[in-house]
Structure 1
Amino acid sequence: MKGWSLQNSAENKENKKKAVRSSLRHFITYVIVTTVIIFSPLVLTGCDLMEDAAEFAGELKGKLRFRDDEDRDDDDLIDLVSDEKDYVITITDDEAEWNSFDNAAKLSPSGMTSLRLDELSDVTSGYYYMMVSDEEKEVYDEIYTLLTGFENDSVLSTTDTDMIDHAFTCVLVDHPEIFYVKGYSIKTYTRDGVVERIAMSGTYTMTQSQVMEFLPELDRYYYACTAAIPADGDEYTKVKNVYEYIIRNTEYDLRAPNNQNILSVFVNQRSVCQGYAKAMQYILNRLGIFCTLVEGTVKENEAHVWDMVRINGRYYHVDTTWGDASYKLVGESNDGNALRPPEINYDYLCITTDEILETHDIKEIVPLVKCDSIDDNYYVREGLYFTSVDDEGLRRAFEKAYEQNLPTITLKCADYDVYHDMEEYLLEEQKIFNYLENTSVNFVTVEEQREIIFYL
């Protein structure tokens, strides 16, 4: 990237034409997402099982309560003792923040399915649910019911721990409103070396009543975020407005509390990538727009999360985090003041899979739709995407920027040939002054993104 100042030689014949070129740095902020798993196995066998189980349950008469509640019905009891063999109970605690997705990304459930696009056309949420097998859908539903009901020790329909882990991740990916769960624990009931049942408990960060206290905050943010969307705004307009609002009202902060869920954005206005992405997902889903999370890595294999949206039937990647913190431009203007970076970086608003792969690697937890349209890409929709040097298109773009009182305008070129042609036309030949209201201009060239940014 290169920063310049340019003065119109026709307007300033006494001065020699000069351009100040400054080396700019491309700052990209990433979040490191880690997983910490603490296992606490407890094995009870023979007489020890009887004594210890009776001690924590209070009663053993051929049956044992596995819930703490005193008023459970008999349906909540598990038959632990047979005439011949006793169970071995193993308790495993997964205290990991689920955010890394790493374990789920490595799993390949045998029944995983790939839907046709037309089967997704009416779906606004629950993408991961749609993409797993029927067997895993049943487990997903059980886990969803468990977590939303703040339940513990619920018996699942499977003993496949890989499927349980994958389904648990899919539930939390699909449901940003479940912001009060950070992990889970399971009790494995084994007899004669065979696992016969598994009971699951959520690891909750707050009580149900505490969750209810936050709901008005979620509504307040939602209505503030969507207030500026025109009543007749199309899906692109809604996505763009939400993207801009979250960026303008959130500070990227690795130390932000609750930074793996929506509370960090909605309540504290400070977050990291997962908070940004889940906030985007939550609001767009409430607006009736399809949005789901995508997990992967960025530079130096650092974990990262962003969104995939559907606009007018076509799918796009959206990275709100990088729209806010992907880079800073540092240059010198002609009066010695540092150039401020654009408030919002639109390079990651509605882009293709090929474009996102230039800077991101995708880890598929379930099969993902390939995004191959640019129809609703930001630069295309705003008249800032150029496939050639287009005098009329440039004139319209600058007139619109002045009408909207924008501080900058970014011109995006379709390929490097167009980019170099635009550089020659606007900068070397100084045709930029055909479109400006001033006689001098500061600008930045970002060759790797095929962009020229002018400060108006």
Structure 2
Amino acid sequence: MEISQRYAYNQLDGGEKLLYERLCGELMRLSGEIELTCGEETLLRVLRAVIRDFPEMFWFEGKVALSENSFGQTVLCPQYIMDNMRQINSCREIIAARMNEIVFPENSSDYEKALAAALWLCENVQYSPGTALSGQNILSVFIDKKSVCKGIAKAYQYILGSQGILCTLKEGSLDGKALHIWNGLQIDKEFYNVDITMGFTPFRDYWREASESFEESGFFCVSDETLSFSRILFEDSFICPRDYDRKAAK
């Protein structure tokens, strides 16, 4: 998916978009020191947008060191979790092979693709709280096959992005306690919530008595109101006003 199509990018103003594009290029090249003329607040806001939009940038999770040079410029030093391009490309090849395992129905709609990707993740990845430190990126899903909510949500975002479907990350508090990450996606110009984590074994008790399938669980293509019983949504412009109407779509 092109940068211009990504969600967080389009929430920025013109100058911030230029900074976003610069940061993307530098991070893709594994740059060690990035000299910038913007303020720290703007820099960190734009950096968060890049991280939110690029699940495929698995070698960088947002940790940086900031300093100021003799010219008064802000110097950003990314702390990569992987800084060897050969190793990165090897991981990319494994991810591509795993992506090829996902079967999308012929001539399927965006809704059907979103459901197929969700079910593949639930069937092929294990939710593992023990991976909380290593499960924050897509490597945990496609290589380790064990992850937590953030890694799962990023993998889902990456899969849908490969199909041209706008998908982003949403953040809130689950049951008023733990930090939780899920997805917002766009289908037929409408925004919906999808919480793949709730399709994994430890969480199915949330919906199993009311529904036999994840599709009808109350966690797939639903509104913010539908999800409000289980979480508090942090402030976000990605508002999902209604549930997907499956009956009307058939």
Which bin holds the TM-score, normalised by the shorter protein?
0.7 to 0.9
Q: Are positions 1:138 and 2:18 aligned together?
A: yes
Counterpart amino acid of 1:131? Q
Indicate whether 1:222 and 2:99 are aligned. yes
Q: Distance in 1 between matches of 2:191 and 2:172?
A: 18
Provide the C-alpha distance between the structure 2 equivalents of 1:352 and 1:300, rounded to a whole number of angstroms: 19
- Is 1:374–2:243 an aligned residue pair? yes
Give the partner amino acid of 2:31.
Answer: E
CA distance in 1, matches of 2:86, 2:10: 31
Match of 2:220 among 349, 359, 367: 349
The offset of 1:344, in angstroms, is 4.1
Q: Which residue of 2 aligns with 1:360?
A: 231
From 183, 194, 204, the equivalent of 2:80 is 204
Question: How far apart, in 1, do the equivalents of 2:27 and 2:245 lie?
Answer: 37
Q: How far apart in 2 are the matches of 1:326 and 1:188?
A: 46
* Aligned equivalent of 2:120, options 242, 245, 252: 245
TM-score, normalised via structure 1 length:
0.49
Compare CA radii of gyration and give the structure with the larger one.
Answer: 1
Counterpart of 1:290? 166
1:156 is the counterpart of 2:43? no
Q: Which residue matches 1:314?
A: 190
Write the distance in 1 (CA, Å) between the matches of 2:155 and 2:130.
18
CA contact (8 A) 2:176 2:231 kept: no
* Residues 1:274 and 1:156: Cα distance change in structure 2 (over 3 Å): same
Contact 1:124–1:285, Cα closer than 8 Å, also in 2: no
SS at match of 2:218: helix
Compared CA separation, residues 382 and 313, structure 1 to 2 (3 A): closer
- Equivalent-residue separation in structure 2 for 1:262 and 1:321 (angstroms): 14
Q: Is the 8 A contact 1:250 1:270 kept in 2?
A: yes
Q: Secondary structure at the match of 1:317?
A: strand
Out of 112, 132, 140, the residue aligned to residue 264 of structure 1 is: 140
Using the size of structure 2 for normalisation, the TM-score is 0.88
Show the counterpart of 2:109.
234
Secondary structure of residue in 2 paired with 1:305: strand
Residues 329-388 of structure 1: per-residue CA shift (max 9 Å, x gap)? 8x9xxxxxxx9x957473201001211222222223x522x22233445xx4798xxxxx
**3-state DSSP class of the match of 1:255?**
helix
Which residues of structure 2 form unaligned runs of 5+? none
Displacement of 1:187 after TM fit? 2.2
Match of residue 52, structure 2, among 168, 173, 185: 173
After superposition, the Cα gap between the structure-2 partners of 1:349 and 1:375, relative to the gap in structure 1 and judged at 3 Å, is closer
Task: Report which of the two has the higher share of helix.
Answer: 2
| Distance in 2 (alpha carbons) for counterparts of 1:268 and 1:253 | 11
In the alignment, the residues of structure 1 paired with residue 129 and residue 81 of structure 2 have an alpha-carbon distance, to the nearest angstrom, of 19
Alignment partners' CA distance in 1, 2:93 and 2:245: 33
Unaligned runs of 5+ in 1: 1-121, 332-338, 384-456
**Counterpart Cα distance in 1 of 2:226 and 2:204:** 17
Kindly indicate whether the alpha-carbon contact (under 8 Å) linking 2:4 and 2:10 is maintained by their aligned counterparts in 1.
no
In structure 1, distance between residues paired with 2:140 and 2:232: 25
Query: Residues 226 and 243 of structure 2 are in contact (CA less than 8 Å); yes or no, is this contact kept in structure 1?
Result: no
Query: What is the deviation of 1:238?
Result: 0.5
Distance 1:178 1:250 in 2: 20
Match of 1:187 in 2: 67
SS in 1 for 2:204: coil
